[in-house]
Amino acid sequence: MNSFNEQFLISVIIIAIGYMLKRTEILKEKDGEAIARLVFNVTLPCLIIVTFSEVHFVPSLFYLVIIAILFGFVNGVAALWIFRHHPRNVKGMFSMMVPGLNIGLFAYPLVEGIWGVEGLKYFGMFDVGNSFIVFGLSYIIAGMFAEKSSMVETRTIIYKLAKSIPLQTYIIMSILNLINWSLPTIVVDISSVIAGANMPLSLLLLGLYLNFTFAKGYGKLLTKYLVTKYSIALIAGFACFYLLPVSDMFKYTLLIGFLLPTSVSVLPYSIMFGYNQRLVGTASNLTIMISFIFIWLLVNLFVH
């Protein structure tokens, strides 16, 4: 078994353990909220600190930020057009789910296991752009088309971006790297120990949130959403893979990054703006399973 398949197998097993812990009621799905806060506010920032402390930036990496933002906007516009004939709340609900990607929980554990620090560097820069889409564009779409829509204020979006500890860590570490200023060794060492928990906690959390009971009666809408999300991702991913004159790791980041599941932020947005939470949860779960299959296939076919 090659290292890629071994990493996927390990990931599947840890996700399955998380799911079984929920099924046996050793842990409950609501416990996932505390684990998610721990991952996003502690282990993931520590992993970013360690990753960005060990790498040397090249200007081309910053193109990943721009590409992630452009990709998110293209997805958002395409989704609004494709769902234009549906009721306002349906249009908003599905359109908010298309642009953002789940990088922190889903991609990082796989990338860390397959490519190590080198891969995390690329996906980290991609996630900077994705963060602006998740906390900006997706939030705007969700608010604009909610049944009880209210004005989405710029200050609210800025507050959400400022409140994102991973995003702020990305920005701070990027600046420190650019000015060639290193953090004290003790800070990096402590961060390294804490960062070791990011992969297992993230995968266990995916298992806790995994659900095989789906909302019924929405088959056509879900199919339309999934076709929209993955057709754009595949077209954009292969176009970048074959046409861009960039390094292999840059290409892998885009090919796989575009195919990641929908952002976990769509679940709190669905509560905040009164969307169908069960339907949003179903769509989110489907993208986790579909993305896992797509990425496994692509890694085995194209990564060498």
Q: Tell which wins on pLDDT, 48 or 164.
A: 48
Q: Which of 67-71, 147-151, 180-184 has the lowest mean pLDDT?
A: 147-151
How high is the pLDDT of residue 2?
65
pLDDT recorded at residue 154: 64
In a domain, 230, yes or no: yes
pTM score, whole prediction: 0.86
- Cα angle, residue 98 at apex, residues 171 and 270 outer, rounded to 5°: 90
Question: What does each C-alpha distance from 260 to 29, 52, 54, 68, 286 come to in angstroms?
Answer: 22, 22, 25, 12, 11
Separation of CA 249 from chain center: 18
- The total number of structural domains in the chain stands at 1
Q: How far is CA 268 from CA 32, 52, 94, in A?
A: 13, 29, 14
Confidence of residue 76 (pLDDT cuts 50, 70, 90): very high
- Report yes or no: 99 and 79 within 8 Å, Cβ to Cβ: yes
In a domain, 273, yes or no: yes
Among the residue ranges 13-27, 129-143, 166-180, 206-220, the one predicted with the least confidence is 206-220
User: Which residues form the domain of 138?
Assistant: 3-298
- Binned at pLDDT 50, 70 and 90, residue 215 comes out as low
Report helix, strand or coil for 262.
strand
Report pLDDT for 61: 85
Tokens (6 digits) for 96: 């908010």
Contact status, residue 170 vs residue 124, Cβ threshold 8 Å: yes
The model's confidence at residue 153, banded by pLDDT at 50, 70 and 90, is low
User: Closest Cα to residue 256, out of 213, 205, 294, 282?
Assistant: 294
Confidence of residue 192 (pLDDT cuts 50, 70, 90): very high
Q: Is residue 62 in a domain?
A: yes
Q: Give domain status of residue 110, yes or no.
A: yes
Q: What's 276's domain CATH number? A: 1.20.1530.20
Residue 206 lies in a domain: yes
Q: What's the CA angle centered on 243, arms 242 and 245, to 5 degrees?
A: 105
| Rounded average pLDDT over 94-111 | 89
Give the pLDDT confidence score for residue 151 in this predicted structure.
55
> Is 303 inside any structural domain?
no
Contacts of 6 (CB under 8 A, 6+ apart): none
